[in-house]
Copies of this chain bind each other. A is one copy, B any other.
């Protein structure tokens, strides 16, 4: 192992997170800047370059002390060309050239990967994945994303879509998804999906429930509200939480039945519901797994939170 250091960059729609790490993955410095999506996002890559150069100067470090920069980004990555397109939350309408531009701007080699895969790599390396060779990561946020590590390698598949667990079909007759088909996991287990399920179930619910009262009152509710109320025993909230966790457990069980990972790791904002969510998902997984999987695949909550991205991005360099 080299003693050169790594830089991890996690590019999101609101902030860009940076970290300097040892080759062993220990964070030595970290900082973040706001993502400036004005002017079609044209300032983003220059901002990344300036921020890295500024901090290296501040820490009295030189480019040749680093073995590389790993960048996690939204959008569709072209690995051969080192380009990204279709990152709509960054206002990138045309293809951008982060590898070419950041290498030229910093003098350090750059590797890119999509944001969900980078979070998967981070949780695998330094988080709940325990550096195992076979880890499936699912992130429950505004949407549902994921990443799959098998035989120690991140999977991309034929066209870069491996690990896009959010579009596994759970119910062929379910809600319409933005992807154009029905019943995707994302329509049920994302933050927006959970609210959708709650509104749907509330329409046919006649019992006593604070969640029902809030919805009837026209209040905005969040996925967090649903799980918080479910924990207090709210009847409708429990119906929703059970359906969400059963659906997630069904989808994850079948991925586990196919891949037999050592760990299935659940992250993203919705996973803040903690052991309450984990226990329900695990129960649903066990009901749909065959014996070898029950015995050898473990489901866990992610442990790195927002830090997974920079660590996973840095791991691209190893």
Interface positions of A (Cβ within 8 A of B): 132-134, 148, 150-151, 153, 155-165, 167-169, 172, 177, 179-181, 184, 250-251, 253-255, 257-262, 287-293, 295-297
Contacts and interface: CB of A to CB of B under 8 A. Distances in A.
B155 A153 contact: no
Given A150-B151, A169-B250, A169-B253, A157 B259 contact: yes
B255 A161 contact: no
Contact of A158 (B148, B155, B255, B296): B296
B257 A169 contact: yes
B260 A159 contact: yes
Given A150-B150, A162-B260, A259-B148, A157 B134 contact: yes
A148 B82 CA distance: 28
Contacts of A259: 148, 155, 157, 162, 258
A164 B293 CA distance: 10
B258 A162 contact: yes
7 contacts: A148-B258, A150-B157, A157-B297, A159-B292, A169-B250, A169-B257, A177-B290
A158 B155 CA distance: 16
A161 B293 contact: yes
The 8 closest A-B pairs by CB, nearest first: A157-B260, A159-B296, A167-B290, A158-B262, A161-B260, A161-B292, A169-B288, A179-B290
A158 B297 contact: yes
